[in-house]
Amino acid sequence: MKNVACIDDLRTIAKAKVPRVFFDYAESGSYSEQTLRANRADLEAIRLRQRVLVDVSERNLATTVLGQKLAAPLILSPIGLLGMQHGDGEILAARAANEAGIPFTLSTMSVGSIEHVAAATHKPFWFQLYVIRDRGFSKALMDRAVAAKVNTLVLTVDLQVLGQRHKDVRNGLTVPPEFRIKNVIDIATKPAWAWSVLNGKSKTFGNISGHVPGMENVNSLGKWTQDQFDPALTWKDVEWIKDYWPGHLVIKGILDVDDARTAVKMGADAIVVSNHGGRQLDGTSSSISMLPRVADAVGSDTEILFDGGIRTGADIVRAIALGARACLIGRAYVWGLGAGGQAGVAKAIDILRNELSVTMALTGVGRIADIDGRVLEGGEAKAKPAKAAKPKAKAPAKPKAGG
């Protein structure tokens, strides 16, 4: 990956290599994309404080999340249809994360299944759960995750109905891609992509196909989501999931102080302050603008993770200074995958790590734990609560009985 200087370069390469229907799927936000834009604009508006003549010759990016050692405060976020950005995308991203010493989170809506990723990797990964109407299926997914030695469940709670992305409608997003003449011509110009996907272990929703009766042919993502995602989901469901799941529970999609307090009351080991990368409620606040408020309210009671708009190392410093323990990254590594498979994901992680290290040096800090409000223009001495969870058993021994 020579001549790639930044995440935006990976995006440019991915755009040339990945069929438009899937590139647009990853890039877009919902409706008028106000929240998508706010995620970036609000991060960029936060000024860092330049400090000089501090000895920063020793810099250490390592940290812990849920008792797990991370080589850098980064986690690969759950991404639906990752295997449509590059064949075996989930496996390749998980391997790149393994090598970089950070967690990979597999989405319920992945192309490669839990079992595919477990068989192709050596270290535990995280699993993201969408609870669908059929609670038995959700339990079965948790059982499969336990069997695959997953110890951290990321329960996503901000998608009980689907925010529309206009380009997905216009492009006719289906899985596998539909034989529309426009799509066929586009794919014909992307032979490397077509080859990698044709040779991938799975070409549809790996966790679902063959497990949900009648879902052998998953056609429209929007329709499946509409039919199966449960708008009646409530905190009561979090209660049984907490009860059923034997490992760490992370609740993803918290953007409100009251919801954050409830999540803590329900026993979340961590929360992710997130608006789904601007893909759900259009017009809601950027994640970064809500982070300090959530951190103030619950940061000493749970671990706070953050996502939404992270594209540079400076963004990571901003989020940690405002109360995050670590950041999930989405599109930054999706573009890496589309641009160059596993090497592209590794490049994305590397770019962010290097930029983080330089930003730390120029703001005068040597360790992640030393990043706090003082690195921000006008920031306060200690803006950052720092709750660290007690480690749980690495791999839960057995799923609880029940169906």
Ligand X SMILES: Cc1cc2nc3c(=O)[nH]c(=O)nc-3n(C[C@H](O)[C@H](O)[C@H](O)COP(=O)(O)O)c2cc1C
Among 63, 77, 152, 284, contact with ligand X (rule: CB under 6 A): 77
In angstroms, rounded to a whole number, what is the distance separating the alpha carbons of residues 358 and 314? Answer: 9
Q: Can you tell me which of 43, 70, 74, 79 binds ligand X, judged by CB under 6 A?
A: 79
CB-facing half-sphere around the CA of 12: CA atoms within 13 A:
8
Closest-by-Cβ residue to ligand X is: 330
CA 156/CA 251 separation, integer angstroms: 6
Q: Is 295 in the site for ligand X (CB under 6 A)?
A: no
CB nearer ligand X, residue 41 or residue 188: 41
Contact residue for ligand X among 307, 315, 355, 372 (CB under 6 A): 307
Q: CA-CA distance, 393 to 129, in Å (whole number)?
A: 20
Contact predicate 79/90, CB 8 Å? no
Q: Is the dihedral of CA 372, 377, 379, 381 positive or negative?
A: positive
**Cα-trace Rg, the chain:** 20
Q: How far is the CB of 333 from ligand X (least distance, A)?
A: 8
DSSP state of 215: -
Element (H, E) at 249: strand 248-254
With binding defined as CB under 6 A, does residue 309 bind ligand X? yes
For residue 156, state whether it binds ligand X (rule: CB under 6 A).
yes
166 is catalytic: no
Q: How far is the CB of 399 from ligand X (least distance, A)?
A: 22
Please identify which residue in 30, 35, 107, 312 interacts with ligand X, judged by CB under 6 A: 107
Amino acid identity of residue 283, one-letter, is: G
Using the structure block, give the residue that is written with the tokens 């408020």.
Answer: 293
Closer residue to ligand X (CB): 252 or 384: 252
Tell me the C-alpha distance between 393 and 395, whole Å.
6
Please give the full DSSP string across 106-127, using - where no structure is assigned. E-TT-SS-HHHHHHH-SS--EE
Contacting range for ligand X; rule: CB under 6 A; set: 94-102, 163-171, 306-314, 377-385? 306-314
Q: Which is nearer to ligand X, 38 or 146 (CB)?
A: 38
Binding-site size, ligand X (CB under 6 A):
26
Among 329, 351, 360, 383, binds ligand X (CB under 6 A): 329
> Does residue 331 bind ligand X (CB under 6 A)?
yes
Q: CA–CA separation, 279 vs 296, rounded Å? A: 26
- If the CB atoms of residues 187 and 319 are measured against ligand X, the closer one turns out to be 319
- Is 19 one of the binding residues for ligand X (CB under 6 A)? no
Q: Which of 86, 190, 252, 347 binds ligand X (CB under 6 A)?
A: 252
277 in Cβ contact with 308 (< 8 Å): yes
Nearer of residues 107 and 121 to ligand X, judged by Cβ: 107
Catalytic choice (86, 116, 248, 276): 276
Say whether residue 383 binds ligand X (CB under 6 A): no
Q: What is the distance between the alpha carbons of residues 219 and 103, in angstroms, rounded to a whole number?
A: 30
Residue 273: φ, ψ to 5°? -75, 115
Q: How far apart are CA 215 and CA 205, in angstroms?
A: 9
Q: Smallest distance from the beta carbon of 192 to ligand X, in angstroms?
A: 20
CA separation, residue 124 to residues 101, 109, 147, 369, 375 (Å)? 11, 19, 11, 25, 34
Q: Does 128 bind ligand X (CB under 6 A)?
A: yes
Does 91 interact with ligand X (rule: CB under 6 A)? no
Cβ burial of 330 (10 Å; 0-12, 13-18, 19+) is: buried
Interface with ligand X, residue 330, by CB under 6 A: yes
| 190-249 residues near ligand X, rule: CB under 6 A | none
Q: Which stretch binds ligand X (CB under 6 A): 167-175, 307-315, 318-326, 346-354?
A: 307-315
- Provide, rounded to whole angstroms, the least separation between the CB of residue 76 and ligand X: 9
List contacts with ligand X (CB under 6 A): 25-26, 39, 77-80, 107, 109, 128, 156, 252, 274, 276-277, 279, 307-310, 328-332, 334
Catalytic annotation, residues: 276
